[in-house]
């Protein structure tokens, strides 16, 4: 046994294979070694055991904590609540990716001035590009202009979808509309992992 680090060495070895200390002590003579050497061997064994137990406990804690907390939950960009001020002839957009078969529900209300109209339309990524280029694409879903309404949109395929809320009043009217909009992304897969 090495008299410095306390590990077992091969019989007849002249140096420790781990730390390189010379003159290992034969196993039969360990109990007759000097008190400082026996204390160092015991302390080294204790520290080695402590490190192994600490590593095992740290690994167990990290694994158990990950299992108990579950996967991280990131807020979906199509789950929103907020007030939006939209200038005359302008629009605001809530966008995000929807998996085919999943849906977005919600509602909207104009709160200032109360009772003013708001247009709502849903575009996919291709139609959105056309809309931004100044064209007038047919939306995938729309509500007739009104002061409030429900949003119920089910995506037929996976894509980025854009919920466009437009102030229908002309820019010359100077009529800005404040709308309170709530949207909620809903998965078509139940808690058991099967389609609802």
Q: What is the CATH number of the domain that holds 182?
A: 2.60.120.680
Q: Which range of residues forms the domain containing residue 67?
A: 1-71
Question: Which residue among 18, 50, 71 closes a domain?
Answer: 71
Q: 58 and 108 share a domain?
A: no
Neighbouring CB atoms inside 10 A of 129's CB total 13
Strands 148-154 and 80-86: unpaired
State residue 69's pLDDT score.
81
Check whether residue 180 and residue 96 sit in a common domain: yes
Domain limit, last residue, from 71, 97, 132: 71
Residues 97 and 59 in one domain: no
Q: Please tell me the total count of domains within the chain.
A: 2
Q: Can you tell me the distance from the alpha carbon of 145 to that of 15, in angstroms, rounded to the nearest whole number?
A: 90
Would you report the helix, strand and coil content of the chain in percent, each value rounded to 5?
Answer: 25, 35, 40
Per-residue pLDDT of the chain (196 residues), as tens digits, is: 787 777 788 887 888 888 888 878 877 777 777 888 788 878 888 888 999 999 999 999 988 888 888 766 656 789 999 999 999 999 999 999 999 889 999 999 999 999 999 999 999 999 999 999 999 999 999 988 999 999 999 999 999 999 999 999 999 999 999 999 999 999 886 544 444 4
Q: Is residue 93 part of a domain?
A: yes
């Amino acid at each position: 046994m090495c008299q410095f680090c306390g590990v077992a060495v091969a019989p007849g070895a002249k140096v420790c294979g781990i730390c390189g200390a010379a003159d290992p002590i034969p196993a039969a003579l360990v109990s007759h070694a000097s008190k400082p050497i026996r204390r160092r061997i015991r302390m080294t064994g204790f520290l080695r055991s402590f490190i192994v137990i600490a590593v095992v406990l740290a690994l167990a804690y990290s694994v158990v904590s990950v299992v108990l907390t579950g996967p991280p939950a990131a807020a979906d960009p199509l789950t929103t609540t907020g007030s939006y001020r939209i200038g005359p002839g302008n629009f605001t957009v809530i966008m995000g990716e929807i998996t085919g078969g999943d849906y977005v529900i919600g509602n909207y209300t104009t709160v200032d001035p109360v009772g003013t109209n708001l247009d709502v339309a849903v575009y996919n990524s291709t139609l959105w590009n056309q809309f931004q280029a100044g064209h007038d694409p047919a939306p995938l879903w729309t509500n007739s202009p009104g002061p409030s309404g429900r949003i119920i949109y089910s995506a037929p395929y996976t894509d980025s979808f854009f919920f466009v809320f437009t102030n229908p009043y002309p820019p010359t009217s100077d009529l800005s509309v404040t709308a309170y909009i709530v949207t909620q992304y809903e998965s078509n897969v139940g808690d058991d992992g099967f389609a609802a």
